[in-house]
Structure 1
Amino acid sequence: MNITTRCVMVSTVWQALVLGLVLTASNLADPIQRFERDNGENCRTQTDILFVLDSSGSITESNWPKVLEFVKRVVLMWDIGPDKVRIGIVTFGNKAYPQFQLNTYETKDEILSAIDDVEWKNENTNTSGAIRYMCDVAYTVANGDRPESRNIAFIMTDGKSSVDYEGEQTIPNARAAREKGVSIFAIGVGDQSETMPTVDGMAAVIDVEDFDSLEEIESSVVAGTTNCEIPDCREENDIVIVVDVSVSMSKHTIGIRDFLFDFIPLYIPFGQDYVTIALISYSDVAQLHFDLARYDSTDDVTNAIMEELVPLYGETNTGSALRLLKDEVLLESRGLRPLRRQIVLLFTDGNSNDMDDTLESAAELKKQHVEIIVISVGNWVNLIEVNGIASDPDSHNVFIVSDTEELGTIADSLHNVLCVANNNCSSNPCMNDGDCRSLVNNYYCECRRFYLGRNCEYYCPIEADVLFLLDSSGSLGQQGFHDLIGATNQLALLLHSEQDDIGIALETFADTTVMVLDLNDRIGKLSQLSSLIAPYNAGSTDTAMALDMMTYFFNINKKPVRVAVIMTDGKSNDFIRTFKAAAMAHSMNVHIITAAVNVHDQLGRLELRDLTSDPDVKNLFFYNTTNALLTDVSPIKNSMMEAICNDVDECQSEPCQNRGSCIDGIFEYSCECPEGYTGVHCERECDGRMDIVFALDASGSIRRSRFPYLKQWVYDFVTQLEIRKGRTRVGVVLFNNVTTIAFNLNDFTEKQDVLQAIDILEWTGGQTNIAAAISVMRSMLTPAKKDRITTTTDIKRVAYPRYAIILTDGQPTVDVLGTPVQAIQARLEAIKLVLVATESKFENELFRLISNDPDPSFLFTVKRFSDLQSVLDSVIKTTCDTINECLSNPCLRRAQCFDQIDRYTCVCPKNLAGVNCQKDCVSRIDLALVFDSSGSVEEYFQLAQNESRRIIEELSVHPDNARIAAVTFHDFATVEFNFDRYNSTEGVLNAIDFIHHGGASNLHGAMELLLSQIFNGENGDRLNARNVVMIFTDGMDYTKTATEIAEVVQTMTSKDIIRIAVALGEEADLAYLQTLVTPGSRPDSNVRTIPSGDLNLLSDRTQRRNAVHTTSGLCALV
């Protein structure tokens, strides 16, 4: 706007001044202190305001700070900004001194800071020069004047212009500015202030007695800058004003009283056809001053407030005030109008003497659709309580000021809340035919059945129970806990329903667990969900107990969808119990979503991963603070709604192969494989019904730093398995000096729980006891019949393949001799032993003894721990035998065939023998196998055992036919097993697996042992059976004399014990062996030779010929 044509825009008050009214501080009405008007477009007028300040000597240096403080307080009341109010300052003494122009600063803080730097000049009073500068220079576009904005100047002076400085031009210059569209308000201070013509020169003149009285005109000065009329209250509301007058608020009581005295007449049209008001104050107890029906005029209400609202200095019993309001004020007999809005205007600092009681009382009011607005006053405000009392959203319904002098700044906003009937449903936010209801600064959608969400945007055609579990322990803190309550309110509001489709519960946990609302409470109304409250308990964090209570309540209600939202800092007091309780919940198909606050340590994050449903990336959310969680619940919301509605079909890509059935889950899928297939996608052609126990070496040689390689290998193995009821089961043991069961086969039915259980395994150190590990694995895979066969399913399960997979880095250091014994027993129990060895000697004989035959299929070795992944697929394949070796019916004469990995075993009926039960063998013999384990036969020791197995295969091992015992000898002799130990060919074959010891060749000791402990009429030795000894050795016994040897041979001859020798190697002393054996028809008839050479290339034909030749005679023995 051009200055010459600018219209003068002044309010009604200042228009009166233009007609000649001069205001003084003594006759000004009490103004509302410090408010910003914001009641519509007319109140947002852009204004360019200049302060023209007399800084001459007559002001005095002591009064100058009072001038600047006045200007600052007035500036505080305006809405400052480039498109709102602009401020400039000019001071004058001998001449005008521009301090800053209209476009120098854009923010209130910058202007306030600049005011502090304005200096006092101590010169003459050139008022006319200041006005001329103001009009000709300051109000120009270059210096920030906006053509479309109002121009208002406040000139403050304490006396007449100096004559020597064109004092006679003051009024003409003012008149000229007036004619150019500048509204000038003169503020005269003291008795000597210059009289200015109000009609044609000034918009108004305000006189105050002294500089200390400037604060009395601040609001009037602000009011003079706007032409806004106070809008009518377009809402017919019942308003109950509740004022805290306790000791913490006593210093603010009078300020609140004065604010209400000014606010009500200016902002609220009072009366039965408009707004009715009641007043309650409280300290130790609440007092009703007047109810909604008491007064029908503004004067009566404001006078009553002035008379009755006084500080009481007691405690802060906010709960009593809210209960009084509910019980004695919000009644039709007390003036309540049922079809009107009921609004509570609460002035408090939130520091009640019982916050839980206060929040509960507020919740009861909100359940009755009472809307609560909180004005928090002071610097020590309990935001937890204040936000908990107020209606949602807190950002609109909580007003915070540090002092009552700032109450005026919220007057317009408060008027909007109380009086302006904003239709928050005007944008039609509710989707899917939901009905919208407008609230104070908010709305909610009443959704049709099966629709949920703030805007009914989620379609969830299923019943569900949702349980919120909030950590209220000491590690979280009270403020943190109430942030969790706020976040829960936001999430719960998404679930409001007038039906019973969604059950909602709230549980808190610390030392104890409290079910604040259980699923049977049937909460679901918006008023209930927006006011969820719970007490803060402090103490330690017993997450396990909370999970146990959660599963109990879910189990009672049995809705098809169960969702738990846990908010915690992750530090439970019992990690293992928590994990087991979470696993139980997972097995009940409870989908757990976790919001974790301030959890940065590895163990805490591990616990949370174990707690949360898979996948973690979709269900586990980390926040640095509880406030961050409170302000952004969207990730939790998305996961929660997907868990309830499951509107994303993860099976859409048809991931399951080989006719597998895809089961759509929450953020994931699973494949149920048909018979004959298994794997994550049913990609492997084998049966997925098996039991697998992993044994992880946790001894000192593994070291803590390398143990994670073992865990990761087992973890990756398990991810490829089809773990569910009726299919693959997994157990894990850890071994060092002793063996510990980490978890059993029946502990977990969900893959995620198995994986999480692997995740928490810990290295312990110690020695290496593989024997104990195998023993425990045997007990897990072959429990007692009474323990495992109780149902039809159990009976079927016994026939499923069972695998014991051992991961180690070396030979056992504890119970070394017991290791092969345990391995043999495992194989006899049809347990397939698989050994994965790391950083060990690949030719380790003990490893060969442990793993099942054929060795290449069950023994895997890698050089480094980091290479373990290279054998993962091969080991997995070992558990998936795709070829049934029995399909060709290799077993003859009705013998039973057992399919094994890359081989088969025939169980022959009595009197039949051979690999395929192809021959008759009716011999009744007790055969003792004697193996030389001395140092000289090391390269032949394994070959000797293999040869003995082939001989055994050609016999009918049966209690009524052939019985087998075994002895080994080196420095001393040992009974490996007696005649009554094994009653089948398969048992003996598995049992012939001995460790080579080295040392001297004490054959004499072995023969004496045969006489004393084998052929003694005990331990299975039969008196009516032929006794036979087969000795595998390479030569002489140098531990005894020839005479001593001859004596023991003679004793065996006298007992009719047939002796056969198998010479190991071409260098064997055959002549010596001839002295040991039973004489035959030919000199060498009872001495057989296993030739030397490359043992790995030794022909099967040679071994078979020797075995047949030997056993053809044995089968004839009766």
Structure 2
Amino acid sequence: MPKNAVPLYIVLVLSLLDQISAQGDSDKADIVVAFHASSSTSREDFQSLLTFVKGLVSRVDFDEGRARLGVLAYGENPHVQFHLHEYRTWTDVYNAISNINDNVRSNIVDTSGALIESLIMFDYQYTRTDVSKAVFLITDAASTINDNYLSDLTLVMQNENIEVFPIGIGIWDKSELETIATSPKNVYTVSQYSKLQTLTNILRQDVQSLKPRETGYDLVVILDSSVSQEYFDWMTTFTKHLADTICIDDGEFKVGLLRYSTDSNVQFNLKDYQSSGNVRKAVDNVRYQGGITNTAQAIDTARTQMFRPDQGDRDYARNFILLITGQNKSLSTSDAWRAAERAEKDGIQLYVIGLNINDSVELDETSSHPLTTYQYLTKSKRELELVPPQIYADLLRMSKNPPSMRQRPTIPTVRVLSTRYPVKYRTSVTLECVVDSYPPHTKVTWYRVTNGDRTEMEKVTDYCGSTVNVPSLTINRADFYDNGNYVCTAENVAGVGSSEETRVIVSGACGLTKVDIVIILESSASVNDSNFQKMKNFCKDFLKNADLDSGNIQIGIVSYSTGVHIEFQMNDYSTSQDIMEAIDAIPYRNGSKNTADGLRIMRSQMFTAANGDRDGVPNVVLILTDGWSNISSQRTFSEAEQARAKGINIYSIGIGLRDTRELNDMASEPASENSFNIQDFDEFAAVSDQVFQAVCLGKL
């Protein structure tokens, strides 16, 4: 090294310490000077270095404890000459410096080792949280070993609020210096030792800007009061023990408390008590209140109502929730996990303590990770009493910056790709289902839905798919029993997700055999023209599933109000197009409700050989009405009875009926399968396939 190097070190660092001394009694600093002494460094230069260190400490008031100094020499290995707390008087420090031996010189440069040792020096026994910290690392050479650890060590320094100032002498490639520095502005280089003095004024400004970053821990304890009184007493005892363990009196910790079961109740806020004794007294006033385990609401209440500046939350402090529960599951596992995600997104980490928990799935994902740090599962009051010191130690070891939010499991999102799946009789159809799930789903199930009730689909020959890898369901050789609504569900650890309903519509089966059908339409005043058009649309929708063009199915229609009008007979039209056009041409005729004569004309004038009725072919009637008959109503039942006695199968459809007795009396037995009541005329589309299915199944 050049002979003038050490004196310039002295000029440099003394300028820094002048600023520390000038900051006033309220400002304190801990500084580590790390230097590399190569094997070529002469003993004279080494003694000059010791002189520099003595000059350095001569400007510091050790007796007042405002500033402390540690000295570290490094080469292949770091060698601590003395720690920050080791000497507290000028005389002791001076003698310690004088005793430093020159056997620390080395041509190997392990800067990573120097930074690690500096961290240890700051953390050794008597670390101070209320002072600024800095490492001045002076080197004329880049690392020769372990340089791959430097970037990680810089992150650690930043998390620990330690400023690192690398000073390079004669180093043209600044990449390593920039990696070491905790801020880009902290990097300094000079071309030779004689130029170091040019940095003096700049570094004075850096030292002036060094301020201790305030640290602290804001902790909200959440007690589950849906447990037994005994368990709740365990929790309050634990909380008092915790208050005695952590440092509340010196302001490092602030504690708030929330009790919850069905509802969440803030017992005291972070700002309310500044001593462990007062916290203990406040906990003694917390009373047990049973109820439902609404964990999600409790976490959200703590996040939104307690971690607030006006309630004592400090912007520089780390925020933690400590949730204590004795329940395996809360009101909603998924909601609890979403609340935990929201808390972590706001920078709040969650400790979870479980008392005698048998199933920890919910708690595993409610707590922050790793579980070895953030979760404690205890089996007794004694085990619970051992937890506070462990949590306190964990907190002190934590990084100053919280990790990012960790996604919790979510209930699978399940979608069917169509709301309707038409299929020809005895052919196949695939009900397409897509599942999005985190974590991956473990089960897929299809259900048939009947009147709101779900029946699980059996995995037999005619049904395949419905697996984790193939969630879609394929129906082979579909028949009319497959008509209806279906839903697809998928399950993971978060719960079961369900698709919307999709409908399978089987057509063509009635075309395989012959049937004669008459539709009776009510055209009374209560129906009105608009709703009568909806009735006609129902007729066309109903018949779209029938194979009309084969001649196997014949259709006739009669309408009634005060009078009865045969719109067309069963043998009038033989093609689906002609039948649909004939339905469109049916006029609305206002009047009363002469249901009895509508049934009579159907039986006596339409189911006749002359008008198309065929021997040996089933006779089917559909009657559509929106209310009780008001002309000869006493005859309605007898007319229906006569028609049924003639072998005519009657299916009745009511619209908006509160009293369905007449509707059921007209229908063939059993009325529960052959009578349908919808709420209004707009629901015809929903019942069309259902009626067609009933007709076909009833005659086959």
Larger RCO (CA within 8 A; separation ≥ 6): 2
Does TM-score exceed 0.5, indicating one fold? no
TM-score by length of structure 2 reads 0.30
Q: Normalized per residue, which structure has more strand? A: 2
Larger radius of gyration: 1
